Amino acid sequence: MVHSMLRKVIAGLAFIWAVGWGVSLPAMAADSRSGPEVHTFTLNNGMEVVVIPDHRAPIVTHMVWYRVGSADEPRGYSGIAHFLEHLMFKRTKNLKDGEFSKIVAKNGGQHNAFTSYDYTGYYQNVARDRLELMMQLEADRMANLDLRPDDIATERDVIIEERRLRIDNNPSALLGEQMMAVLYLHHPYGTPVIGWMREMQGLAYEPVMDFYAAHYAPSNAILIVAGDVTPDEVHRLARKYYGSIEGAAVEPRVRPVEPPPVAARRVELRDARVRQPVWERVYTAPSYHRAEGRQGEALAVLSELVGGSPTSRLYKRLVLDAELATEVGTWYTGTAYDLGRFGIYAYPRPEQDPAMARASLEGIEREVEAVLADLIEDGVPEDELERTKRKLVADAVYARDSIAAMAQMFGRALTTGLDVDDVLAWPDRVRAVTADEVLAAARTVLDERGSVTGLLLPKPVDREPSGAGDAP
């Protein structure tokens, strides 16, 4: 089982870290050569609308995505995007505090929200005859959020407790957070989505309302409706509820440029709570938005080939042959507005002596580097390449079975610089990836200078004198 921080990385924090991405770009062919039925249009106020009809059951997923995430926060206000996500469930000019959630539940729906580096999203899963009500509710809080200063302290305590539970009390999450902070020298992706504790404690009413006014506008939003609907029906309802909201100019995203890396970095965390040591490495990588040619698709193929399954090279080498690890895997997070990430992780076999944990991780690291070196030296045989691509496309076909997953796929793509055609073309672009492109991607990305290696270890039994021990 992938430990909690890696799940967050793989999932891109979607649905508050609860739903995984699978393949990091929306990989979702309908059959072997065609995609799903997708309709798009733009309202007069600039709001984009995507409709994905699926009439198998009388249900719909209704989602509103904003092109704003933690990487767009003003410096010194880390966590404000996630904080506003929480506050959006407070009152509006038309609804009392908490009434939004009560109405959704009363009508048999499920709802939640999520914040990532590049986007914030809100969704409801409901019966098709409740879609109009969901649009009415969501449009209301887009335009009429009615926060009060006393809301801030109460909800701020909630997100602070969330940070304590999810991050501070979880050694693997702490390691992942520190690795991200070290991986990005200048880019805001190095700041945790939930925020740094000291800055979270200082979040106040006026900055929150300024952030809401600056980013929560129709021209910065995407409406996605998937399920038992028709394009004409969605168009009519969207114009009625969202189209009546006055448009507002939104500043384009301007983010710091990450400098070229010049040195490999390492992070080691020792904690008495650790029962399962972990070795992991993360590299910066081109995102689909920033990649050249089929570089992003080549990285998805590389990830699957190297560590995506029990038939992968790393699994065979570390788990079956060398018997050093109980689990090993790779991932590529390419759906990002700026830089993506390529990661590798492994769990060593249990050691009776905790002092041997470091040696186990060092052995794993040597074997991982040997596998990568072999690939870069020898390349990828055509039969292995074709087998890997077929599996990726097959997984994409299965992903189409969930209307909620379909809506997520398009939302992540459209909020990170891609368009509908990019999503639909993904399976064919994977099929077209060549062995040379996979090798070129490996040589470009698997450069230690662009990486952080993390070790999660138990705290030694014999501690040094007070003041000289390991960092917690």
Tokens 């404000």 label which residue? 80
Query: Rounded distance, CA 87 to CA 131, Å?
Result: 23
Distance separating alpha carbons of residues 458 and 111, to the nearest angstrom: 39
The dihedral over CA atoms of 240, 245, 251, 252, expressed in degrees to the nearest 10, equals 0
Whether residue 29 contacts residue 397, with contact meaning beta carbons closer than 8 Å, is answered with yes
The SS3 of residue 171 is: helix
Residue 233 contacts residue 120 (beta carbons within 8 Å): no
> Alpha-carbon torsion 415, 418, 423, 424, what sign?
positive
Given the residues 48, 73, 85, 280, the one annotated as active site: 85
Q: Which residues contact 78 (CB under 8 A, 6 or more apart)?
A: 70, 191, 192, 195, 196, 199, 200
Cα separations in angstroms, 435 against 371, 440, 455? 17, 9, 32
Residue pair 329/307 in contact (Cβ under 8 Å)? The answer is yes
Confirm if 340 and 287 have CB atoms less than 8 A apart. yes
CA angle centred on 368, ends 367 and 372, rounded to 5°? 115
Closest alpha carbon to 27 in 304, 395, 458: 395
DSSP state of 237: H
Query: Radius of gyration over alpha carbons of the chain, in Å?
Result: 23
Q: Which amino acid is at 398?
A: Y
The C-alpha atoms of residue 75 and residue 196 are separated, in whole angstroms, by 12
Residue 251 among the catalytic residues: no
**Element (DSSP H or E) covering residue 396:** helix 382-399
Beta pairing partners, 225 = 51, 62
Q: Report the catalytic residues.
A: 85
